[in-house]
């Protein structure tokens, strides 16, 4: 069954490539800044928030403004990370749209 062996080798290569991509995702970092620099969030390629920095003056603003700016910052950071993650995984899966249960 030469086709089965070829398929197994391709699956093993894809698995190795996925592990490399996951490692690369964990090391890639994005810094998102909102509110004129009042909020800075660092997120990695896996969507993990690594750092959050708030300007002291920003904390003197009203509660609703602080909450909406934080939410905007987090949403942008997660979106940027997800976009990068999708690109990285697409290169591994050959544009197959990812594999169910892995992302």
The mean per-residue pLDDT over the stretch 55-80 comes to 93
Handedness of CA 39, 71, 29, 32 (dihedral sign): negative
Catalogue all structural domains in the chain, each as residue range(s) with its CATH number. 2-93 (3.30.1310.10)
Query: Which phi-psi region, left, alpha or beta, contains residue 37 (left: φ > 0; alpha: ψ -120 to 50)?
Result: left
Residue 12 confidence (pLDDT) above 70: yes
Residue 38 confidence (pLDDT) above 90: yes
Integer Rg of the chain from CA: 19
CA distance 8 to 28: 30
What is the pLDDT, as a whole number, of residue 33?
92
Yes or no: say if 82 and 47 are a contact pair by the CB < 8 Å rule. yes
């Amino acid at each position: 069954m030469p086709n089965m062996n070829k398929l197994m080798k391709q699956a093993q290569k894809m698995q190795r490539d996925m592990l490399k991509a996951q490692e690369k995702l964990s090391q890639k970092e994005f810094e998102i800044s909102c509110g004129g620099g009042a909020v800075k969030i660092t997120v990695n390629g896996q969507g993990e928030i690594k750092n959050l920095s708030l300007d002291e003056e920003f904390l003197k603003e009203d509660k609703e403004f602080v909450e909406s700016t934080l939410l905007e910052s987090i949403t942008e950071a997660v979106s940027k990370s997800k976009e990068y993650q999708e690109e990285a995984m697409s290169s591994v899966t050959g544009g197959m749209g990812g594999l169910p249960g892995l992302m």
